[in-house]
């Protein structure tokens, strides 16, 4: 079984809809991250969490919110989706005792029409 | 100037060639350097990790860091079609810092 899972893997939605992307991990890591990947722009950090009570904005947090329901679960929400949020979204985890090598989930391909 | 610069390619080489992938960076505080490999429609996976300057070798892969020049490289020897992927460099200053990624270089190894 995969250590970092993301649901859904693909999603097509319409402008204005609320969307939630979910991430679960079985690695026992305390740190979790949400990135988006766009062609030509690479990976950009949206939000990150160092533990259940810690939430931090990343480089591009506008239009997004997150929830850390448990150490193993980190959800990303788009309150009112817009077309320029069409992208690949990745969840990643690491442990504070590591050298910051992050482990990525398989990604969610989101299309906003 | 971007913190991390990486030529996006695409780079196409014949099977068996030696591949050189590179990144430059501007932040002298970076100490931890990584290379991730990302296959199409998959998440990035850690390929190589290096602390500070020097070389690290793992099979056909060699990672080099030159902190004086703020330049890191990944060499792939005897490249195989299965090496066809996007390679992303990443780096950070330490355990409290977030990873900064390059944009990735798309590599295609032709049989």
pLDDT over threshold 70, residue A2:
no
Map residue B107 onto helix, strand or coil. Answer: strand
CA distances from A52 to A74, B21, B39 (A): 9, 38, 31
B-chain residues near A106 (CB < 8 A): 42-43
Distance CA A74, CA A67 (A): 6
Confirm if B4 and B52 have CB atoms less than 8 A apart. no
| Shortest CA distance from A48: residue in chain B | B98
Instruction: Flag whether residue B68 sits within 8 Å of chain A, measured between CB atoms.
Output: no
Instruction: Dump pLDDT digits (tens) for A78-99.
Output: 999 999 999 999 999 987 665 5
Instruction: Flag whether residue B41 sits within 8 Å of chain A, measured between CB atoms.
Output: yes
Interface of A with B in 42-81 (CB under 8 A): 42-43, 45, 48, 58
Confirm if B88 and B38 have CB atoms less than 8 A apart. yes
pLDDT over threshold 60, residue B4:
yes
Confirm if B43 and A107 have CB atoms less than 8 A apart. yes
């Amino acid at each position: 079984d995969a250590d970092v899972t993301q649901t859904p893997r693909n999603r097509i939605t319409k402008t204005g809809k609320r969307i939630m992307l979910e991430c679960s991990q079985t690695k026992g890591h305390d740190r979790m991250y949400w990135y988006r990947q766009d062609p030509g722009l690479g990976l950009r950090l949206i939000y990150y969490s160092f533990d259940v009570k810690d939430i931090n904005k990343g480089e591009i947090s506008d239009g997004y919110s997150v929830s850390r329901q448990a150490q193993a679960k980190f959800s990303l929400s788009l309150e009112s989706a817009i077309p320029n949020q069409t992208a690949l979204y990745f969840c990643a985890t690491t442990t504070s005792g590591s050298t910051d090598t992050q482990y990525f989930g398989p990604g969610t391909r989101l299309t906003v029409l | 100037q971007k913190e991390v610069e990486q030529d996006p390619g695409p780079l196409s080489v014949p099977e068996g060639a030696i591949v050189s992938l590179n990144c430059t960076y501007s932040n002298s505080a970076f100490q931890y350097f990584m290379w991730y490999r990302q296959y199409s429609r998959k998440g990035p996976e850690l390929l190589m990790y290096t602390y500070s300057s020097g070389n690290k070798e793992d099979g056909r892969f060699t990672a080099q860091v030159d902190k004086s020049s703020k330049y890191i490289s990944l060499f792939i020897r005897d490249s195989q079609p299965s090496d066809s992927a996007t390679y992303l460099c990443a780096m950070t200053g330490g355990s409290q810092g977030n990873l900064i990624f390059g944009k990735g270089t798309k590599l295609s190894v032709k049989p």
